[in-house]
């Protein structure tokens, strides 16, 4: 069992707190917020850590990509992790630690499609139900692999952005690495051109591996990588990889005349 004090348990009932929200509620300085990001967390059924930006200690830039499962609060024969995102107040489960399932009662594990890495030996002899893209590696781990012109492991993706020439870049902010704006005519259809960067190469991602969220579904319709303007107005679209990683992700503001 992982020990957390009452203050920490109270924080965890609110999901991921921004630095501004943390300071306003708990009145603490930067070091306390950093501790909040790196400490263990608890929901009703799970113990987890925040899956943080790689190399944040060197770069000084820290961000939360999702959650890392480190233990179970309740022992069960079947563990269905598809409800994890709801329990953690919207943060997707991305990685699973080797010690997450230290129980002899486990028979079956059901994983959500957001899991990108599982440490070797995490499941023991339990049956695993998972996405086809989460593939077992030679060392016994599981990694999420995109099947493009070449196989691309999720952890090797350096950037995710839009390459449609008709959009205007607005720069980035704390939430989105890239922000864009574009104007369309009612009835017009455009290709979104959501693209990843891996090393020196870039790949346009097929719709199979993408998630688009819009704040007004009556304004636009997105299918098979294309967006159609349905009626006049404005809407904001957030684009993610299918694993719902929070960074990289981009935002597109659409104005329809």
Greater pLDDT, 149 or 254: 254
Is the per-residue pLDDT at 187 higher than 80?
yes
Q: What is the rounded average pLDDT of the residues 121-126?
A: 86
> Mean pLDDT, the chain, as a whole number?
88
Provide the pLDDT for residue 30: 64
Give 7's pLDDT tier (boundaries 50, 70, 90): confident
Cβ density class 171-196: b for 16+ within 10 Å, e for less: eeeeebbbbbebebeeeeebebebbb
Provide the pLDDT for residue 123: 86
Pairwise CA distance, residues 177 & 161, whole Å: 8
Provide the pLDDT for residue 159: 92
**With contact defined as beta carbons under 8 Å apart, do 192 and 227 qualify?**
yes
Provide the pLDDT for residue 28: 60
Q: What is the rounded average pLDDT of the residues 94-105?
A: 86
Pairwise CA distance, residues 237 & 83, whole Å: 25
Q: Which two tokens stand for residue 148?
A: 């493009």
Is the per-residue pLDDT at 91 higher than 90?
no
Burial class (CB in 10 A: 0-12, 13-18, 19+), 242: buried
Q: What is the rounded average pLDDT of the residues 95-124?
A: 89
Give 29's pLDDT tier (boundaries 50, 70, 90): low
Give 167's pLDDT tier (boundaries 50, 70, 90): very high
Pairwise CA distance, residues 217 & 228, whole Å: 11
Provide the pLDDT for residue 72: 87
Provide the pLDDT for residue 11: 82
Of 42-46, 53-57, 138-142, 195-199, the one with minimum mean pLDDT is: 53-57
Q: Which domains does the chain have, with CATH numbers?
A: 6-155 (no CATH), 157-256 (2.60.40.1080)
Q: Using the 8-state DSSP alphabet, how is residue 12 labeled?
A: H
DSSP assignment of 34-98 equals HHHHHS-EE-SSEEEEEEEPTTHHHH----EEEEEEEEESS--SEEEGGGHHHHTTTPPEEEE-T
Q: What is the rounded average pLDDT of the residues 71-93?
A: 86
Pairwise CA distance, residues 15 & 31, whole Å: 19
Is the per-residue pLDDT at 246 higher than 80?
no
């Amino acid at each position: 069992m992982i020990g957390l004090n009452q203050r920490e348990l109270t924080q965890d009932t609110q999901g991921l707190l921004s630095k501004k929200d943390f300071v306003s509620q708990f009145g603490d300085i930067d070091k306390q917020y950093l501790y909040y990001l790196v400490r263990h967390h608890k929901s009703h059924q799970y113990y987890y850590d925040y899956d943080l930006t790689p190399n944040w200690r060197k770069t000084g830039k820290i961000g939360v990509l999702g959650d890392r499962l480190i233990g179970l609060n309740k022992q069960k024969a079947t563990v269905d992790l598809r409800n994890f995102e709801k329990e953690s107040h919207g943060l997707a489960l991305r990685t699973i630690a080797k010690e997450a399932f230290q129980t002899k009662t486990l028979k079956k594990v059901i994983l959500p499609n957001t899991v990108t890495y599982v440490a070797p030996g995490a499941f023991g002899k339990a049956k695993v139900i998972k996405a086809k893209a989460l593939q077992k590696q030679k060392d016994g781990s599981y990694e999420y692999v995109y099947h493009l012109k070449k196989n691309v492991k999720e952890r090797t993706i350096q950037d995710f952005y839009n390459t449609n020439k008709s959009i205007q870049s607005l720069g980035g902010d704390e939430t989105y690495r890239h922000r864009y704006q574009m104007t369309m005519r009612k009835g017009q259809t455009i290709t979104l051109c959501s693209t990843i960067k891996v090393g020196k190469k870039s790949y346009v991602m097929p719709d199979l591996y993408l998630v688009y969220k819009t704040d007004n579904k009556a304004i636009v319709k997105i299918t098979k990588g294309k967006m159609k303007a349905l009626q006049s107005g404005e809407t904001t679209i957030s684009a993610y990889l299918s694993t719902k990683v929070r960074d990289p992700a981009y935002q597109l503001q659409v104005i329809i005349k």
